[in-house]
Structure 1
Amino acid sequence: MAEPPIFVAPWGDDTWPGTVERPLATVFAAQRAVRARTATMTGDLVVHLRAGTYHLDRTLEFRADQGDSGTGGHHVRYQPHRFGTAEQETVVLSGGRAVTGWTPGADGVWTAPVGDLDVRQLHVDGRRAGRAAHTTGIPGNVTKTETGYVTDSSVPLSWHGADGIEFVYPGVYPWSEARCAVAGITATEHGTTITMAQPAWDWARRLYDAEWHGATSEDGDQVDWVPLANPPLIENSRSFLTEPGTFVLDRSTPGQHVLHYLPLPGEHPERTEVVVPVLETLVAGSGTEQHPLTGLTLRGLTFAHAGWSGIRRTGGYLHYHGVNHYLGGGLTQFALPEGMGRVTVPTETARLPANVEFTHVARLALVDNHFTHLGAGGLSIGESSVDVLVRGNTFTDISGSGITVADSADCVIEDNLVHDIGREYRGSPAIALSQTRDAIVRHNEIHHVPHNGIVVTGGERARGTQVVANLIHHTMTALADGGGIYVSAPQGASFASGAVIRGNVIHDTVTSYNFGLYTDYGAAWVTVLGNAIHRGDTPVVLQVSPPLRHVAFLGNFWDAEPSGHDTPPDTVVVAGNTVLPGDDFTRALAADPAGADILATAGRRTATGQHPPAG
């Protein structure tokens, strides 16, 4: 027997009973009503949210010890009114606030006070505005120092708001992009000293310490690689505000920060909606390993407008790989293959947080939601979570990754659309699995992302991952040394318990030095079966360091033979794969019965079970 539903509407009142005629006004009041009833549930309990934007003044936190779990095998469901029908209402849970009080200046720039907010994202009529940027680096003859840089140019002295400026280093390692904040800019007898913010600058100098051998310039000369050399991108000074549609946060007066925005043609301060994030965690859910948060469903909702201020706290974002960044822990040296040099590898990393996070949950379902305008990652599932379903969601306009699952079991990630993520932290993958058990990633579409599409990292606890029938295209649009699918480290103890990468279509892996499907860094017990890979640097790689062990490439279709395909390492099997012409790959694939089946099944499934074109 179903529980009587609870209704919420922007025009409601939290003193009302939560009926359709007299709804509550806030999600928090609905949550209190739910908590009063979960102990005696006799059926699913549904919270119906009427159309509108619900501005959250604090994190919407679901906790097992506070009565947010469904009991008796039942679910608590939060959803828009008329969910699943043609009349489904649009509901936004927002962690932002509108910026008002704009003053247009004589130079066309609007200004508005925002108090002590550290604004990194600005959303103007639903569009993410970029931060004003200088794209030619530090001028003059530049030398890196222990504390920052010196230059014989005096131009940096004219950059307004020195302590708000941020240096960006694309490709600080080929697969990484670092961000380091400036602490101050001062004049010297012979030019300018730029002092970088600590402790991130010291950490960066230790982490990005490597040697590359064999690289040559176009004229054949040896190229010296200098970590943290003159940054090609510098952001967030009023001096850079020349491009319409960009903004700057001026932090010159502590606690009285000012936004500067140069509008696009046609925008007007009284008609243009400008939203900044306030919350860092929009929604969170948690229990314990013994008593997880269980039986919760969130569906049909939009999660929007949340940020992350980690760079301000540490002085930088030192990306290493995937969703991981460095916070000053241990480091080790790793030798690159064939005498190419060495690279420094962190032994300890931290994950970029997500704006929607769940830990120690069971029977959690996130279905048909929209994650957008977010300043960290989109969704994170972690810490001993089990039986989680992430289905039919859209992830877009996100600073970091789309979906991250770590240290969890029996999670299904299916039929999601992930695109235009990694807007600030460009090493972020669309979907990342770390040390998962029996996870399934299937029928998702991923496109236009700056680095890897799907990342699967293994280890002692990893087993049973299936990456099946995904459509992945236009990945690696910014950084190098990655792929549409990236798999590393041991994935189990045998082929039976290892990872299976099957039936995926991967095309247009964009930047140089990439592999459409990349098994790397000691990947073991991986079956790569019946995938279609084309328009990339190289379809797959057979020799890496540490070497691949127990990896089989069987029955795949690609547009070029991988290097060493006829003499693979003893620990790698390459058999039954087909090379199709690169200039007519999709037609040739469709003409092969097995290839046609791959094309027909890869990608998101619609309500009728059909798929959009996968070529």
Structure 2
Amino acid sequence: MFQFHVAPAGDDSWPGSVERPFATLERARSAAREAAGDVVVQLRGGIHTLTRPFELTSADSGRDGHRIVYQAYGYGTPAQEEAVVSGGRLITGWREQDGAWTADVGDLDTRQLYVDGRRADRAAIEGLPGEVSTTETGYVTDSAGPREWRSPGDVEFVYRGVYPWTEARCGVATVSAVSPGEGPTEITMAQPAFGWAMELYAATWEGQTTRGPGLPTSIENDPSFLTEPGTFVLDRSRPGRHVLRYLPRPGEDPASTRVVAPVLETLLSAVGTRDVSFRGLVFAEATWLRPSRPEGFLHYHGSGYYEGGGVEVAVVGEGASVTYPAASATVPACVRFEDPAGVEIEGCRFTRLGASGLGVSGGDGLVVRGCDFDTLSAAGVTISGGAGALIEDNRVRHIGLEYAGSPGITATGTRGCTIAHNEISDVPHCGIVVGPSEGARILRNLTVNTMQVLADGGGVYVSGPQGDSWESQGLVEGNVIKDVKTAYNFGLYTDYGASWLTVEANVVMRADNTAVLQVAPPLENVVYRGNFWDADPVGHDGPPSGVTYEGNVTYKDERELNAASAAVQDRAGLLRPRP
């Protein structure tokens, strides 16, 4: 077996030994390509700052039955070191001005900031002041307040709950007086985002039709908003001479506080890589800049967003309909694999990232085990296509911090994917989402405090066909779903034409609704058997023809429910509890 070492204080002209390590992952990658047999690349503790994404191709695969491993030094032992792969930039040169810290940062562009490892929010205000009306290009308000914004082109409107499951973001183009003097203010929104929003968000309900995103629920990123300690603003009004402003919290000192702005959008990109492992690494500090562009972020559902191309209409009841994208894009991940085979990701942490943590498309035999996903702007894990993936014993929490529709774990278009023994907590929308797939198995997961921000979802959400026969069916078994927060949710939610699916021996408690059997399009070939509830599912007393409902038990008393379902609850959640 070959071993190479990489350290922040190393040198790429050295041989990569423990005494004389390489400085960069690129140098270690080159050495691994030249070695025969098993290869282990040991990353010493410290911050391994990337200046460009670390890229792997099929040439970086294990060969002839051997494996290439990138791991933290001492992995799996009490002496394991913390090796952080970072796409961030340390901000220095602070000067104090009117109680805030100010730094000239050149052409730096970012949407996030981390202060001693803590995520700082962008400075924001709640909604537009004054009496406001919507126009085809933006808004008119009788307040002069928006004319006091110092960098209007950096301002972003946030629309929470356009649909109950949706949160959109659109930038401002200009702010001006309608006429000279102190009269009304016209806000022109950036295009094409606002035009797309007028196209995408159209609904009819009880004879009333709405169009467009409505009024913003909050407004972000102007120096005039900087009033809350621990928040920041990036002023890009002068091209190439951007200014970062941060309002410190009590006790923070610019001479000793570590402030990092994520710069890279991708930390790791692997295409066609086989038989490679990543163990015990921390992936941190990356951003995603697309929502700051004129296209904005026109969210629809889960990790999907609209990029134009037309909409379609879904009828969801008599006289009720919503529009939805004819095609959607997916929020990217900061660590990405395309068509992997035999790739293992074990014991890693994904944190302080401005998009999703881990994204995988296609491939075969992926294993993601024992990882932590936290402090993410979007989803934890997103799997699209591929066969035989195992997502097991991972902890996902505090995600969707910027894109609140993001699920903890998502799989769609997969074959034989298993999502088992994961713990998902404190997330803004769904815990686990499985779209149309074949033979997906959602087993013995624990979700707690899901649906904290948006509505119409659940701790576990399954939609579309899950096979084409009972032999290829999907299975949702042994999961425990607790504390599904927002009004209008279903703890265990089979939706939108789910079919060829068995839902068995799950526990749901403290949800707005435990489950629903009557949806549009209707459920077909779905079995609900032996589940434990604290309330009867919607439609339990008259299941539709496509649903078999048998042996399920409702306990109104929580103590009785816990006693009856103790065996299920004991088996759900992490295999190896972590602090």
For normalisation by structure 2, the TM-score amounts to 0.98
The answer for the alignment partner of 1:347 in structure 2 is: 326
Matched, 1:364 2:343: yes
Pick the aligned partner of 2:523 from 543, 548, 551: 548
Pick the aligned partner of 2:88 from 96, 99, 106: 96
Contact 2:344 2:366 (C-alpha < 8 Å) held by counterparts:
yes
Contact 2:351 2:373 (C-alpha < 8 Å) held by counterparts:
yes
The answer for the alignment partner of 2:62 in structure 1 is: 70
CA distance in 1, matches of 2:408, 2:482: 15
Q: Please tell me the residue identity of whatever aligns with 1:303.
A: F
Contact 1:236 1:248 (C-alpha < 8 Å) held by counterparts:
yes
Matched, 1:141 2:131: yes
Contact 1:413 1:441 (C-alpha < 8 Å) held by counterparts:
yes
Shift of 1:203: 0.8
SS of residue matched to 1:479: coil
Residues 541-589 of structure 1 deviation map (CA, whole Å, 9 limit, x = unaligned): 11111111111110000001112212110111111001112xx42x323
Matched, 1:451 2:436: no
The answer for the alignment partner of 1:209 in structure 2 is: 202
CA distance in 1, matches of 2:204, 2:176: 32
CA distance in 1, matches of 2:318, 2:450: 28
Shift of 1:590: 4.1
SS of residue matched to 1:515: coil
The answer for the alignment partner of 2:110 in structure 1 is: 119
Pick the aligned partner of 1:598 from 549, 568, 571: 568
The answer for the alignment partner of 2:561 in structure 1 is: 589
Matched, 1:310 2:301: no
SS of residue matched to 2:185: strand
Shift of 1:495: 2.3
Contact 1:415 1:604 (C-alpha < 8 Å) held by counterparts:
yes
The answer for the alignment partner of 2:442 in structure 1 is: 467
The answer for the alignment partner of 1:180 in structure 2 is: 170
Contact 1:603 1:612 (C-alpha < 8 Å) held by counterparts:
no
CA distance in 2, matches of 1:392, 1:470: 13
The answer for the alignment partner of 1:34 in structure 2 is: 32
The answer for the alignment partner of 1:399 in structure 2 is: 377
The answer for the alignment partner of 2:18 in structure 1 is: 20
CA distance in 2, matches of 1:360, 1:314: 31
CA distance in 2, matches of 1:9, 1:159: 45
SS of residue matched to 1:409: coil
CA distance in 1, matches of 2:321, 2:489: 19
The answer for the alignment partner of 2:310 in structure 1 is: 330
SS of residue matched to 1:401: coil
Contact 1:210 1:227 (C-alpha < 8 Å) held by counterparts:
no
CA distance in 2, matches of 1:345, 1:198: 20
Contact 2:198 2:211 (C-alpha < 8 Å) held by counterparts:
no
Residues 371-420 of structure 1 deviation map (CA, whole Å, 9 limit, x = unaligned): 000001100010x2110000000000000000000011100000000000
Matched, 1:412 2:390: yes
CA distance in 2, matches of 1:518, 1:430: 15
Residues 308-365 of structure 1 deviation map (CA, whole Å, 9 limit, x = unaligned): 11112343101111110000012111112133x2100111000000000000110000
Contact 2:295 2:307 (C-alpha < 8 Å) held by counterparts:
no
The answer for the alignment partner of 1:220 in structure 2 is: none
Matches within 5 A, 1:212-291: 212-213=205-206, 227-287=212-272
Pick the aligned partner of 2:279 from 293, 296, 299: 299
Contact 1:495 1:527 (C-alpha < 8 Å) held by counterparts:
no
Contact 2:91 2:260 (C-alpha < 8 Å) held by counterparts:
yes
Pick the aligned partner of 1:489 from 459, 464, 477: 464
CA distance in 2, matches of 1:473, 1:336: 29
Shift of 1:227: 3.7
SS of residue matched to 1:316: coil
CA distance in 2, matches of 1:317, 1:118: 17
Matched, 1:61 2:31: no
Shift of 1:224: 7.3
The answer for the alignment partner of 2:7 in structure 1 is: 9
Contact 2:122 2:220 (C-alpha < 8 Å) held by counterparts:
yes
Q: Please tell me the residue identity of whatever aligns with 2:49.
A: H
CA distance in 2, matches of 1:4, 1:448: 42
SS of residue matched to 1:34: helix
CA distance in 2, matches of 1:524, 1:478: 28
Matched, 1:385 2:334: no
Range 5-14 or range 351-360, more displaced: 5-14
1:281/1:54 Cα in 2 relative to 1: closer, same or farther (>3 Å)? same
CA distance in 1, matches of 2:162, 2:212: 6
Contact 2:90 2:260 (C-alpha < 8 Å) held by counterparts:
yes
Mark the runs of 5 or more structure 2 residues left unpaired by the alignment.
none
Contact 2:500 2:526 (C-alpha < 8 Å) held by counterparts:
yes
The answer for the alignment partner of 1:219 in structure 2 is: none
SS of residue matched to 1:210: strand
CA distance in 1, matches of 2:2, 2:424: 39
Shift of 1:225: 5.0
Contact 2:202 2:209 (C-alpha < 8 Å) held by counterparts:
no
CA distance in 2, matches of 1:126, 1:148: 37
Mark the runs of 5 or more structure 1 residues left unpaired by the alignment.
215-222, 288-292
Q: Please tell me the residue identity of whatever aligns with 1:309.
A: L
Matches within 5 A, 1:507-518: 507-518=482-493
CA distance in 2, matches of 1:121, 1:374: 8
Aligned residues: 576
Pick the aligned partner of 2:494 from 510, 513, 519: 519
RMSD (Å) for aligned C-alpha atoms: 1.4
Contact 2:199 2:212 (C-alpha < 8 Å) held by counterparts:
no
CA distance in 1, matches of 2:248, 2:125: 18
For normalisation by structure 1, the TM-score amounts to 0.92
Contact 2:302 2:407 (C-alpha < 8 Å) held by counterparts:
yes
Pick the aligned partner of 1:536 from 511, 517, 521: 511
SS of residue matched to 1:599: helix
Q: Please tell me the residue identity of whatever aligns with 2:461.
A: Y
CA distance in 1, matches of 2:141, 2:43: 57
Range 314-323 or range 244-253, more displaced: 314-323
The answer for the alignment partner of 1:320 in structure 2 is: 300
The answer for the alignment partner of 1:48 in structure 2 is: 42
1:84/1:612 Cα in 2 relative to 1: closer, same or farther (>3 Å)? closer
Contact 1:529 1:553 (C-alpha < 8 Å) held by counterparts:
yes
Shift of 1:180: 0.5
Runs (4+) of structure 1 exceeding 6 A deviation are none
